């Protein structure tokens, strides 16, 4: 068989978007063929631009319909939210497009959209074309057909992945062509800007983190007592409790410090300084709709306070205004300097704590800014707390090393008693049967987020029921699986692995939950066996596998000549 006929296949969980122009037949009657072509080309160009901005792939244009896939070629943990945001943006953009269409051609268009998440089989040829097959595709198409003009219908799996970022109405089960049973669906109303699709319950009890919390409190004490800048990076895999630990610190500070918070976004335009934009708006106590004059006035007041005549308050305001959307951007060093000056003036009044979340998604320029602030802020009490996944060290291996004022707190999974304590705390005063707690803890593997999501899934699916202040098991616990939210996190992480590391994980999973070097090597092709040990070590460093010191770790050490 010739090379151009070779096809690769992969199963992936993706989010599929179908969008169709309603009433295209009437448009064809109202417009001549050239005008219809020009109008459709304009519409498709805008749709493609929006989808690709959210890092989706336009799989095909079918007549007047668009099919897009989010999760190809690479899976993201928020693919469902990206698809929903793209669909909502298309709906918003269509209002402006219709003004244009009316002015030029005297017509308007309306669109209906269906979105669904599920497993598909992607067949890809060397030339780049692909075929996406699976029930998830069919359901997305059927949801689009059920939608009214201007509506966006999303499947239940998609809704579970975006529910904290959207306002949606339950349509009730829909009878879809080709489906044996009615399908749950939701009517999308609004999408919150920059909100995560699902978020941690930060009111859940903090369990097993006393030592780490004490380290953060000591860092704050050093910053406050010695009037210096301290940097702490809280690192651990998704869901292990970085945000919960930081929230506990911030809530405990009370009136002892001014707290400012920012969060890095995984993608988008103009996101380089987005975390600092949030910090500036909180520091200046302004909102997105406040005019430039008010923002400048507050910046000048803050920077100029208690300073000598002729201070450079206006210069600081000029450099920071572009971050807030006013005026043209300045040079990077000017921006860094202005941010530092503002934080120094704020900290001159009292201790300041700046918390930056998800810096593993940060642009290099922003990471440079954090290091600059740590190096150059002097004689004022500032504590910067950065939350990051281990992926940060893949792009910044020497992150904050060899700095006297920097430290790293690595969060590990909870042990079995701690997981049980967390579960008891999550269900409040009600008693959960011991077998249910044990099953949830086993599947959750010591990750607080996993435990929370499993518990929520069991309640949503009716497996656990609360009656008269007591929980009872109403379904089969043996079939407890990983919730879609957690599956998205894990799949996205695995998808970013180098091919050799991904192959090791896949071959290890064939062996079982526990596997050893020899078994993985035996399942590997001869040419790849020499690299198995190095891949295992890389996976351990990335916290994707947990070595058993008596079995796997000794095998890895022996294979590399160290044991």
**Residues sharing a CB contact under 8 Å with residue 416, sequence separation 6 or more, in sequence order:** 441, 446
Q: Kindly list the distances between the CA atom of residue 104 and the CA atoms of 23, 277, 495, in Å, as whole numbers in the listed order.
A: 19, 40, 46
CA distance 511 to 515: 6
Structural tokens at position 9: 């296949």
- The DSSP call for residue 181 is S
Q: Is 34 exposed, middle or buried (0-12, 13-18, 19+ CB in 10 A)?
A: exposed
Q: Do strands 406-410 and 229-235 pair parallel, antiparallel, or not at all (unpaired)?
A: parallel
Specify the pLDDT at position 333: 92
- The DSSP call for residue 431 is B
**Residues sharing a CB contact under 8 Å with residue 506, sequence separation 6 or more, in sequence order:** none
- The DSSP call for residue 151 is -
Structural tokens at position 383: 């504590």
Specify the pLDDT at position 513: 67
CB count in 10 Å sphere of residue 74: 12
Alpha-carbon 277 to chain mean position: 19
Buried b (16+ CB within 10 A) or exposed e, 383-403: bbbbbbbbbbbeebeebbeee
CA distance 293 to 269: 25
Specify the pLDDT at position 454: 86
Structural tokens at position 54: 């959210």
Yes or no: say if 238 and 489 are a contact pair by the CB < 8 Å rule. yes
Q: What is the 3-state secondary structure (H, E, C) of 298-359?
A: HHHHHHHCCCCCCCCHHHHHHHHHHHHCCCCCCCHHHHHHHHHHHHHHHHCCCCEEEEEECH
Specify the pLDDT at position 201: 61
Yes or no: say if 359 and 393 are a contact pair by the CB < 8 Å rule. no
| Residue 171: strand, helix, or coil | coil
Yes or no: say if 242 and 411 are a contact pair by the CB < 8 Å rule. yes
Buried b (16+ CB within 10 A) or exposed e, 171-204: beebebeeeeeebebbebeebeeeebbbebeeeb
CB count in 10 Å sphere of residue 159: 22
Q: Give average pLDDT by consecutive 10-residue segment, the chain, 563 residues.
A: 53 91 79 89 94 92 87 90 96 92 90 94 65 88 94 95 93 90 95 80 78 97 96 93 94 91 90 93 88 86 62 83 82 92 93 97 95 94 96 90 92 92 81 82 87 83 76 73 77 78 76 72 81 80 64 41 41
Q: Do strands 406-410 and 382-388 pair parallel, antiparallel, or not at all (unpaired)?
A: unpaired
């Amino acid at each position: 068989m010739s090379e151009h006929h070779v096809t690769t296949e992969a199963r992936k969980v993706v989010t599929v978007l179908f969008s169709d122009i309603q009433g295209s037949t009437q448009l064809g009657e109202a417009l001549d063929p050239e005008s219809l072509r020009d109008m459709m080309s304009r519409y498709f160009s805008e749709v493609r631009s929006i989808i690709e901005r959210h890092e989706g792939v336009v799989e095909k244009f079918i007549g007047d319909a668009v099919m897009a896939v989010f999760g190809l070629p690479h899976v993201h943990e928020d693919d469902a939210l990206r698809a929903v945001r793209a669909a909502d943006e298309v709906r918003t953009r269509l209002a402006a497009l219709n003004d244009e269409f009316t002015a030029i051609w005297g017509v308007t268009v309306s669109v209906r959209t269906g979105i669904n998440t599920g497993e598909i089989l992607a067949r890809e040829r060397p030339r780049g074309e692909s075929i996406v097959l699976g029930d998830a595709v069919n359901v997305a198409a059927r949801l689009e057909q059920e939608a009214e003009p201007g509506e966006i219908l999303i499947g239940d799996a998609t809704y579970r992945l975006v529910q904290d970022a959207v306002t949606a109405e339950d349509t009730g089960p829909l009878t879809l062509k080709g489906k044996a049973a009615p399908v749950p669906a939701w009517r999308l109303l609004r999408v919150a800007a920059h909100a995560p699709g699902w978020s941690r319950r930060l009111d859940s009890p903090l369990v097993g983190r006393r030592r780490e919390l004490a380290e953060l409190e000591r860092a704050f004490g050093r910053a406050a007592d010695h009037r210096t800048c301290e940097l702490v990076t809280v690192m651990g895999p998704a869901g292990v409790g970085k945000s919960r630990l930081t929230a506990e610190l911030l809530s405990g500070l009370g009136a002892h410090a001014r707290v400012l918070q920012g969060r890095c976004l995984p993608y988008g335009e103009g996101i380089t300084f987005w975390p600092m934009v949030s910090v500036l708006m909180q520091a200046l106590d302004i909102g997105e709709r406040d005019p430039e004059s008010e923002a400048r006035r507050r910046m000048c007041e803050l920077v100029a306070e208690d300073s000598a005549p002729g201070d450079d308050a206006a210069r600081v305001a000029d450099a920071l205004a572009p971050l807030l959307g006013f005026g043209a951007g300045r040079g990077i060093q000017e921006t860094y300097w202005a941010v530092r000056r503002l934080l120094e003036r704020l900290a001159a009044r009292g201790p300041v704590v700046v918390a930056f979340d998800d810096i593993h998604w940060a642009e290099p320029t922003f990471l440079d800014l954090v290091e600059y602030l740590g190096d150059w802020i002097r004689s004022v009490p500032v504590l910067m707390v950065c939350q990051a996944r281990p992926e940060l060290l893949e792009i910044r291996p020497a992150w904050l090393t060899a700095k006297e004022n920097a430290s790293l707190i690595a969060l590990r999974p909870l042990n079995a008693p701690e997981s049980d304590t967390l579960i008891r705390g999550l269900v409040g005063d009600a008693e959960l049967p011991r077998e249910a707690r044990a099953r949830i803890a086993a599947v959750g593997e010591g990750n607080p987020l996993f435990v929370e999501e499993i518990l929520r899934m069991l309640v949503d699916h009716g497996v656990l029921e609360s009656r008269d202040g007591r929980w009872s098991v109403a379904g089969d616990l043996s079939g407890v699986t990983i919730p879609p939210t957690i599956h998205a996190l894990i799949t996205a992480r695995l998808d970013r692995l180098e091919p050799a590391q991904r192959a090791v994980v896949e071959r290890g999973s064939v062996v079982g939950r526990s596997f050893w070097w020899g078994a993985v090597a035996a399942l590997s092709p001869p040419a790849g066996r020499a690299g198995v040990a190095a891949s295992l070590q890389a996976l351990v460093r990335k916290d994707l596998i947990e070595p058993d010191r008596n079995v796997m770790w000794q095998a890895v050490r022996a294979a590399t000549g160290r044991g």
